[in-house]
Amino acid sequence: MAALKRQAMSRLKARRGPVWLLDLDNTLHDAGTHIMPRVNHEMTAWVARHLALDDQEASRLRVAYWKRYGATLLGMIEHHAINPHAFLQDTHPLPDLLAKVRPHKALQNSLRRLKGSKLILTNAPRHYAEAVLHKAGLDALVEQVICIEDMCFAGQFRPKPSVAMLKMLCARLGVSSKQCLLVEDSVENLRAARVLGMRTVLVLEHGWRGRPRSAYAGSARLVRYQVHSARQLTRLLTTQSQGLSR
């Protein structure tokens, strides 16, 4: 969070409208088809090299850490004292990961019309996130990019779905959690946001292929709103204007 810029914080504090916390991968663009498989492959190879494991055992360990900690990175830090910045750099190779990223005019126009403050909140590393946003033509449409490098407290990484991180983020931005909307393809990340009273938006287009749209939309209300695509966020703001202005 030390990377939050004072100028951006001042702009946020001056605004009374909604604060959109926008996930990146599988929310604003399709990362599941090309990018995620490549990142998983690179992570497995990295684990194999640094721990002297074969590919099968390295893959098993990578998945085990992801399931236990929510990110392979956290498991590698906890159990093997690795350099997190080297891990993030090496497992997100550019320009290879950008090969399938294309500008999407409809999404650009939608974000341009979206009222309120727009921030990217991603567990991805900064060099990757900024490159994707630039390639997709979205970098000029958001005020700030908050990456996993910014989610570090007292020397420990606290990425999504950390409730403590989201709470600290609101404090650093000077906004109420009820002013924020977390837009995600991950229900677990939305669950953490609901604990703080944030409004939650599930995007179905990429990460939810083949799953029922009614998932997790029951009385527990982990998901406040569901949209097929991030392009529909402006429609959501229009149709739910009273609820979003509270």
For residues 169 and 237, state if they share a domain: yes
Out of 97, 119, 140, a domain closes at: 97
For residues 43 and 108, state if they share a domain: no
Helix, strand, or coil (residue 231)? helix
- Phi, psi for 169 (deg, rounded to 5): -60, -45
For residues 92 and 106, state if they share a domain: no
For residues 39 and 126, state if they share a domain: no
For residues 111 and 75, state if they share a domain: no
Assess if residue 88 is contained within a domain.
yes
Assess if residue 131 is contained within a domain.
yes
Q: What pLDDT does 48 receive?
A: 98
Out of 51, 67, 97, a domain closes at: 97
For residues 104 and 145, state if they share a domain: yes
For residues 64 and 183, state if they share a domain: no
Domain range spanning residue 58? 35-97
For residues 176 and 234, state if they share a domain: yes
Work out how many domains the chain is built from and give that number.
2
Q: What pLDDT does 47 receive?
A: 98
Q: What pLDDT does 154 receive?
A: 81
For residues 129 and 41, state if they share a domain: no
For residues 114 and 65, state if they share a domain: no
pLDDT in single tens digits along all 246 residues of the chain: 544 444 455 555 555 689 999 999 999 999 999 999 999 999 999 999 999 999 999 999 999 999 999 899 999 999 999 999 999 999 999 999 999 999 999 999 999 999 999 999 999 999 999 999 999 999 999 999 999 999 998 889 999 999 999 999 999 999 999 999 999 999 889 999 999 999 999 999 987 655 555 555 554 578 889 999 999 999 876 655 544 443
Assess if residue 1 is contained within a domain.
no
First to last CA, the chain: 27
Q: State pTM to two decimals.
A: 0.88
Residue type, 230: A
Q: Which of 220, 162, 160 is nearest to 27 (CA)?
A: 160
Give the span between the Cα atoms of 171 and 111, in whole angstroms.
25
Out of 97, 114, 138, a domain closes at: 97
How many Cβ atoms from other residues are within 10 Å of residue 230's Cβ? 27
Q: Which of 5, 8, 244 is nearest to 142 (CA)?
A: 8
Q: What pLDDT does 219 receive?
A: 47
Q: What pLDDT does 7 receive?
A: 46
> What CATH number did the domain enclosing 201 receive?
3.40.50.1000
Q: What pLDDT does 27 receive?
A: 97
For residues 151 and 44, state if they share a domain: no
Report the DSSP pairing between strands 144-146 and 156-157: unpaired
Q: What pLDDT does 236 receive?
A: 76
For residues 112 and 25, state if they share a domain: yes
User: At a CB cut-off of 8 Å and minimum separation 6, what does 179 contact?
Assistant: 18, 19
